[in-house]
Structures are given as structure tokens and as C-alpha cells.
Amino acid sequence: MNWKMVFTLLLVGALSGCAHTEYVQVSAIKAKDAAVQYKKFALVSERYQSVNDDLNFAEYARQVAAVLNQQGYVQVTHQQDAEVLISLSYRVSEPQVRTEIVNTPVYPRVGPFYGSRFGYYPYPMLGYPAYEPMVYQSIVYRKLIRLQSIDAGIYRKDKTVKPLWDVLIVSNNDNGDLRYMFPYMLVAAEPYIGQDSQHSVTVSVDEQDPAVLNLQAIK
């Protein structure tokens, strides 16, 4: 077996062993007077209503509840017992075309060769690439998850919405399957729940992250 074949096999093995990484944008904001002691929650729709007839919502809600539990929140059975209502909403865009212009190195071919008193040399010279702009197009899907916490007591009293914290989670890639991306997006957002990120932050999440695997196991 020659060295070129050995190197090729090692490279293929290394690449096949690399874990896939998803990149997610998270933007979190918190009210200045948010009551941090409010931990009993009920998950509701974006209109602050209970959802009992949507299988997708039920699956997503179980994952959200698991993440909230890690942050010290406790889910209650009855909405009237909740201190906070946490609305869950999500969207997937239609396919969008993303266009990128990348300066790509273009190496000249070998030769022709020109003679001289000192032998022959190739022209253009090797090792000095030219750069040409190349246009790349790809299909991407914009996936959104929003978690908004409001004061449950005030809402029960007169339907007034008093936000406590809000987390917007965004994924832009070629995968339009929200069920696949949902665990990655929640894991990216977990440290920012109930916090203020000051601006949108990009979080990388590995497919072998134990938190992702735990959420994927929830049915």
C-alpha cells in the first residue's frame, strides 16, 4: 500500500468521525422589574391559550419544559396555579435563495516552458494564484422559535400582558425540518433563558452534545 493511499484512508476516517455542528442565533431580553422568584409555569400558545389538540406543539412543549426544568422552573398542571405563562411559537419560512460571492483562488496551469541560459522555467509561475469572484447559490430555510414569559397573575386578573423575558431563536440553513432542528435551537438558547444577551449571539451546538441527545430522546 503506497503512502498516498494511506493518507487518503486516514483523511476519510477523520472526516467520517467529525461530529456535525449547527449554528444558531439567540437574542434574549429581560424586563428590568422581572420577578426572578417566579418559577411555576404553564406552557401556552402565542395567544396565551392552552393547546391540547396539536401533536407538534405537544412534542415541542415537552422539550421546552425539559429545558426550563434545567433552569429551575417547575411546570404546573393547571394554568391557574402558574406564576408565569410561557408562550411558545415557531415558524419555518418558505425556501429562500441565498447568494454569496466568494473570491476563489485560481491556480494557473503548468507551462508553457520558456528556455533561458539557466535551463527552463514555467510561465505563469506556479504557487501564485489569481483570485476570481465566484457566485454560489444555495437554498436556506429560516426557522424561528420564540419563548415569551408573562406575569400569570396579572394576565388572569384583566388579560393585561406584562412581559418578564423574551427569547428569540433563529436558525438559517438548508434543513427545513423544524423537528430535527428544535433540540439544537433549545440547547443554544438555554443559558439565555430569563437573561439579557444585550444583542444577538451565535451559538454552535454539536450533534453529540448530551443535552441535544437527551431532548431527541423525549417523545
Does residue 30 belong to any structural domain of this protein? yes
Can you read off the three cell numbers belonging to residue 215?
Answer: 431532548
pLDDT reported for residue 218:
93
Place of cell 417523545: 219
CATH of the domain at 48: 3.30.160
pLDDT tens digits for 124-148? Answer: 555 566 778 888 889 999 999 999 9
Counting the structural domains of the chain, the total is 1
Q: What's the 3-state SS for 4-54?
A: HHHHHHHHHHHHHHCCCEEEEEEEEEECCCCCCCCCEEEEECCCCCCCCCC
Does residue 113 belong to any structural domain of this protein? no
Quick one: average pLDDT of 192-214? Answer: 97
Place of cell 496551469: 109
Is the pLDDT confidence value at 113 over 60? no
Does residue 185 belong to any structural domain of this protein? yes
**Do 64 and 147 contact (CB within 8 A), yes or no?**
yes
Does residue 10 belong to any structural domain of this protein? no
Query: 38, 67, 69, 64: which is closest to 51 by C-alpha?
Result: 64
Does residue 164 belong to any structural domain of this protein? yes
Does residue 70 belong to any structural domain of this protein? yes
Helix (H, G, I), strand (E, B) or coil at 3: helix
Please tell me what DSSP assigns to residue 114: E
Q: Which structural domain range is residue 174 located in?
A: 20-97+137-217
Does residue 8 belong to any structural domain of this protein? no
Distance CA 54, CA 59 (A): 9
Quick one: average pLDDT of 173-180? Answer: 96
**Do 147 and 186 contact (CB within 8 A), yes or no?**
no
Q: How far is CA 145 from CA 95, 122, 182, 218, in A?
A: 17, 57, 8, 18
Does residue 15 belong to any structural domain of this protein? no
